[in-house]
Structure 1
Amino acid sequence: MIHKTYKELLAGIRTFMFDVDGVFTDGQVLLHPGLDPVRTFHTRDAYAVQHALKEGLRIIVVSGGVSAGVAESFARLGVQEFHPSVANKNAVLDQLVAQGLDLASTAYLGDDIPDLRVMERVGLPCCPADAAEEVKAISRYVSRFPGGRGCVRDVLEQSMKVQDKWLTEQAHHW
């Protein structure tokens, strides 16, 4: 059996699924009584997401957490498929598959144990540099960037370059 490299797999990826905490964020939250937990996103990750959407790639975000600020941030980027407060990410994947999601053309970027079952099923499992060891062990690609520090941009940029969707006219506009 011939195994494709992750670069070869990137050419066929049309859907990107992401966890939030530990992927878009560094996994830390600022807690203050009476307020939603405060998280930070890297602007390069945000740029890559909105650019990928403009180029026709599908972005799905699945998170165990819930935050009005996180939901609002993804909405501003154009992400229409945001699934917050998910206790079982594999069940969400089952629903998406029932609606026609092709697993072979899907990449998932996760960082911890709740992401494992989904990652085992998709065509290209990926993780940030600082992911849990169990996640790294099943990832076809481990970004050199940690969560919250550009790992989302890394995966999207590499895929879009392989697909000739990176330095398009859309790339020069937010």
Structure 2
Amino acid sequence: MNLPIGHSLFVAWAVVVAVCDCRNRRVSNTLVVAGLAAAFACAGLARGPFGISVTQAALGAVVGLCALLPFFALGVMGAADVKVFAVLGAWCGMHALLGLWVAASLAAGLHAVWLLLATRTRLAAIGRPGAPTFQLGPKRSTPYAACLTVPAIAWIGLHAFAVGVK
């Protein structure tokens, strides 16, 4: 099955975001801007994987940004995670964001439990100076941007099969 260009661009962008976040726990602004530009170009040319308009892409980006911005302000989420969610809003539309957020949060929760078990960190020790940190080797925290993009890749796969992409 050959994927149309919009589908291929989306999957390629999402995979690169996931790999960068898992390897380095950071996503470059260049990658974020490239994803946003591609999302709007595909929407403008009616080649987007989810068939949304430029207006829907803009609304999705704004809602995605505003939805996670409070978590960044509270210091519990990185700026790249917020920006990636905004780009996902541009690609997928506002209607997809809640489902992606729930799936990503469940995946992040499982990752956090795995980190606790792998590092044998006790919940009571978290937050105390000198206590074990919430990290595994040099990697700290959960790669939330990857947790956001992986369900989006799965969703595009389901969407492609549902509409019969040829």
TM-score, L = length of structure 2: 0.27
Return the index of the structure with the highest Cα Rg: 2
Give 1 or 2: higher helix fraction: 2
Q: TM-score, normalised by structure 1?
A: 0.26
Q: Which has the higher strand share?
A: 1
